[in-house]
Structure 1
Amino acid sequence: MPTVIEQAVQARLIATAPQSRVIPATLRYGHTDPFAVHVVFPPAASLDGVEVAWTFGRDLLAEGLRRASGAGDVHVWPCGIDGVVVEFHTADGMALVQFEARDLRLFLARTYAVVEKGDEARHLDVDADLAALLREA
């Protein structure tokens, strides 16, 4: 079984000017960072032509499928019949991106096949992480 999940999806960047547009994105999950999911947007999707990656809690994504969730830089909520909006905040501004809920549900199901919900702590390697931090100090 793979320990890293990647899923290509289409998202809609919600904007007023220029108009909203469809952008590609990649959803990513790995057992070595079991609490987190990653959303990666290619350079063509960003204003400055650089790949943009966001990391936030897998539980936040799952909860956002059902109700408005989040605090700080990332907020997630259901939108319409089969949409989910993810709101990303930076010091430079904010972006709203809409995903198909079924894409996110499929992705989450695949992540739970790698690390079951509630079993994340068992997949952490605290000793290795601490050793890496000490090497960098």
Structure 2
Amino acid sequence: MSKPVTLTEVHPHRVTTLRHHAHLVRADRPAVPLDLELHYTALDPFAIRVVLRTEGASVRWSLSREALLLGLRRHEGIGDVAVWPVRPPGTPGRLCIRLGPLRACAVFQADWDVISDWLDVTLQLVPAGTESDHLQWEDFLAPLLGREEA
């Protein structure tokens, strides 16, 4: 198994990416190994971008950083995304993430401690509760407001 890789950049934007492995979990079938990439940027401070890759295919998804943080401790989420910890006694634990509606979804698992450590990095870049401070409202609104005043 490959070791997780966390890349963090502070300039020009606060960005961190985790590259690790995960497993697609299927009932009554062997788990399928996947490459997992999680991406976080202060430019979109409420979201985590997820990329899952296998040979020849990939899927991209966005989910709430808050849901992922809460999912470290308890079942979190409704609808197309759910996150929950699995911690059998004597094991380091896994984090399960379900993407898609219940009847047609993918559930994958990754190392709980690796995801938790990476989320700590995101919290160093953008502390919880300060996400709105990092949104670029001025850049978005300036052209709109300038046109209204003209």
Task: Describe the superposition over 1:85-113 as per-residue Cα deviations: whole angstroms up to 9, x where unpaired.
Answer: 10111598101101111111111111011
Contact 1:37 1:58 in 2 (8 A): yes
In the alignment, which residue of structure 2 is the partner of 1:72?
A: 79
- The 1:69–1:91 alpha-carbon spacing in structure 2 relative to 1, beyond 3 Å, is closer
Mapped to 2, the partners of 1:51 and 1:41 lie a distance apart of: 5
**TM-score computed with the length of structure 2 as normaliser:** 0.76
SS in 1 for 2:133: helix
Q: Distance in 2 between matches of 1:75 and 1:116?
A: 23
Matched, 1:11 2:18: no
SS in 2 for 1:109: helix
User: CA separation in 2, counterparts of 1:5 and 1:110?
Assistant: 7
Q: How many aligned positions are there?
A: 129
| Worse-superposed segment, 19-28 or 116-125 | 19-28
Cα distance in 1 for residues equivalent to 2:84 and 2:50: 16
Contact preservation (8 Å) 2:20, 2:35: yes
Shift of 1:17: 6.7
Task: Report the aligned-residue RMSD.
Answer: 2.3
Higher relative contact order, structure no. (Cα contacts within 8 Å, ≥ 6 residues apart): 1
Match of 1:61 in 2: 68
Over alpha carbons, which structure has the higher Rg?
2
Q: Which residue, 101, 123, 128 being the options, matches 2:112?
A: 101
Q: Tell me if the contact between 2:17 and 2:39 (Cα under 8 Å) persists in the aligned partners.
A: yes
Percent identity, aligned pairs only, is: 30
Q: What is the alpha-carbon distance in structure 2 between the residues aligned to residue 99 and residue 86 of structure 1?
A: 8
TM-score under structure 1 length normalisation: 0.83
For 1:84, the equivalent position in structure 2 comes to 95
